[in-house]
């Protein structure tokens, strides 16, 4: 592997892409340390202190993952690219439902660019809504990180906090679009998927701090953390790379004096074709009740305040109720998203148009039925695997017998890290193989 890295750095164009990607990551990490206006940094440090862990802190830690570690500094990129990810999911779900979007998807590169433009437009209002939620949580923490912030100030121009409230939201929304722009620069001129690289950089940047905290507080927990992380990474690699190869035979076609086609190949059906999307779906839904309830934790109405506190505690990310619901939702969304994506590919029709067929299976509806059955069976394994990965933080806490948030293994974070590393290695492998070098994968 070291030799492959040396070979990659010897190639001027590949070296430029690698250095450009690293430079953009540095820019993003610098932006992640620039706080939004009005932040009380001392209160922020208190809220994110593991010793003061609460149900709200668990919610903030989940949101911090998707910001690439920027929320712990409540920086101008505190929301990261999460609003864009949500917008992408919404567009993907609406595509098979709305004929106009489905037609755009079939138009090739031009249609995909238009869909991407719609996704960017949808990202802006979603960023505003999420900005209100995160800022409200920060304003209701104890001590308040954003003193004086209130969503009601947005509708009251006479409020003394009206301008500062809008300044905070405008800064956070602009920060999201800036992070998205950096990610697209990586995709265009660097190595790997830009949006994933941005999140990956934040997760990796937090590892030394977490390891240092564990080493100084609980060395046994550190060893447990490292052991479970290694096992999880190996499991995630097998889960991400596992596939069922369905054989395909192509018939020969004679045109004039030439014979075309013939031969055999296979369709690689991935065990986990949904990737980390089910985890994001499940987390997005599970944090929503706690996010809304957190706005009313300091309400002057006693029953509303007690109800809000009860909802926040019920959906505490450290609780077993959250773990059970999380597991069920991950499995459900894995099946849901896999079949949506699989139906959009329309493999049986594509095979029939290209003169291909699965041996022993008639083309057309029989092929569709067969492929659906295969996808259903392998998705069971993929869904259960994702569910187990999602529950690893809870198992770790149960085994260690401690309630600290410091050493929690983020299942979503691990999937992102492993997925980004594998994707980047494959891209570098392709670049090296084009130049007759040995790559990473042998």
- Exposed/middle/buried for residue 387 (C-beta within 10 Å: 0-12, 13-18, 19+): buried
Residue 261 has φ and ψ, to the nearest 5°, of 80, -155
List the chain domain ranges. Answer: 1-205+437-442, 218-409
DSSP track, 406-439: TT---HHHHHHHHHHHHHHHHHHHHHHHHTT---
Where residue 122 falls among pLDDT bands split at 50, 70, 90? very high
**276 vs 8, 86, 339, 383, 391, CA distance in Å?**
29, 13, 15, 11, 14
Pick 431 or 119 by higher pLDDT.
119
Q: Which residues contact 410 (CB under 8 A, 6 or more apart)?
A: 65, 203, 393
Pick 108 or 407 by higher pLDDT.
108
Domain range 218-409, CATH class = mainly alpha
Where residue 355 falls among pLDDT bands split at 50, 70, 90? confident
Where residue 400 falls among pLDDT bands split at 50, 70, 90? low
pLDDT at 124: 92
- Exposed/middle/buried for residue 99 (C-beta within 10 Å: 0-12, 13-18, 19+): exposed
Where residue 123 falls among pLDDT bands split at 50, 70, 90? very high
Most confident of 56-65, 190-199, 200-209: 190-199
Pick 64 or 367 by higher pLDDT.
367
Pick 265 or 399 by higher pLDDT.
265
What does pLDDT average to over the chain? Answer: 77
Residue 244 has φ and ψ, to the nearest 5°, of -105, 120
Count CB neighbours of 2 within 10 A.
6
pTM of the model as a whole: 0.75
pLDDT at 181: 92
Where residue 174 falls among pLDDT bands split at 50, 70, 90? very high
Count CB neighbours of 124 within 10 A.
15
Pick 230 or 327 by higher pLDDT.
327
CATH no. of 1-205+437-442: 1.10.3370.10
- Mean pLDDT for the stretch of residues 174-203: 85
Residue ranges of E strands in 182-321 = 243-250, 252-255, 258-261, 264-270
Most confident of 128-132, 251-255, 350-354, 420-424: 128-132
pLDDT at 177: 92
Pick 433 or 271 by higher pLDDT.
271
pLDDT at position 178 over 90? yes
pLDDT at 65: 66
Q: Write a three-state SS string for 71-114.
A: HHHCECCCCCCHHHHHHHHHHHHHCCCCHHHHHHHCCCHHHHHH
């Amino acid at each position: 592997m070291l030799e492959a890295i040396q070979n990659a750095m010897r190639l001027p164009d590949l070296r430029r892409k690698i250095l450009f990607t690293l430079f953009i990551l540095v820019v993003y990490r610098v932006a992640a340390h620039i706080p939004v206006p009005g932040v009380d940094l001392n209160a922020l440090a208190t809220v994110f202190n593991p010793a003061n862990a609460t149900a709200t802190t668990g919610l903030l830690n989940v949101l911090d993952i998707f910001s690439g570690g920027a929320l712990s500094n409540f920086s101008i990129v505190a929301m990261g690219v999460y609003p864009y990810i949500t917008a992408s999911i919404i567009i993907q779900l609406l595509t098979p439902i709305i004929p106009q979007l489905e037609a755009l998807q079939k138009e090739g590169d031009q249609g995909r660019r238009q869909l991407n433009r719609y996704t960017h437009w949808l990202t802006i209002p979603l960023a505003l809504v999420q900005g209100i939620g995160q800022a409200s949580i920060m304003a209701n923490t104890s001590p308040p990180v954003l003193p004086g912030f209130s969503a009601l100030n947005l509708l009251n121009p006479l409020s003394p906090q009206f301008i500062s409230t809008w300044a905070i939201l405008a800064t956070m929304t602009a920060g999201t679009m800036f992070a998205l722009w950096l990610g697209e620069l990586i995709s265009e001129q660097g190595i790997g998927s830009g949006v994933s690289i941005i999140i990956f950089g934040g997760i990796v940047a937090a590892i030394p701090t977490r390891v240092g905290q564990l080493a100084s507080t609980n060395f046994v927990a550190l060893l447990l953390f490292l052991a479970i992380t290694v096992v999880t990474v190996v499991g995630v690699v097998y889960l991400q790379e596992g596939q069922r190869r369905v054989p395909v035979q192509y018939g020969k076609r004679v045109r004039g004096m030439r014979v075309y086609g013939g031969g055999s190949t296979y369709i690689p059906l991935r065990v986990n074709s949904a990737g980390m999307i089910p985890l994001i779906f499940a987390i997005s839904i599970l944090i929503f009740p706690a996010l809304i309830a957190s706005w009313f934790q300091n309400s002057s109405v006693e029953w509303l305040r007690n109800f809000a506190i009860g909802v926040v505690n019920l959906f505490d990310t450290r609780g077993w109720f959250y773990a059970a619901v999380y597991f069920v939702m991950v499995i459900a969304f894995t099946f849901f998203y896999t079949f949506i994506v699989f139906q959009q590919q329309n493999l049986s029709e594509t095979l029939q148009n290209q003169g291909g067929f699965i041996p022993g299976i008639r083309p057309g509806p029989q092929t569709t039925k067969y492929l659906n059955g295969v996808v259903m069976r392998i998705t069971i394994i993929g869904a259960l695997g994702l569910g187990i990965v999602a529950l690893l933080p809870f198992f770790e806490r149960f085994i260690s017998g401690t309630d600290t948030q410091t050493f929690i293994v983020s299942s979503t974070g691990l999937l992102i890290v492993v997925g980004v590393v594998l994707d980047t290695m494959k891209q570098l492998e392709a670049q090296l193989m084009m130049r007759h070098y040995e790559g990473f994968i042998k």
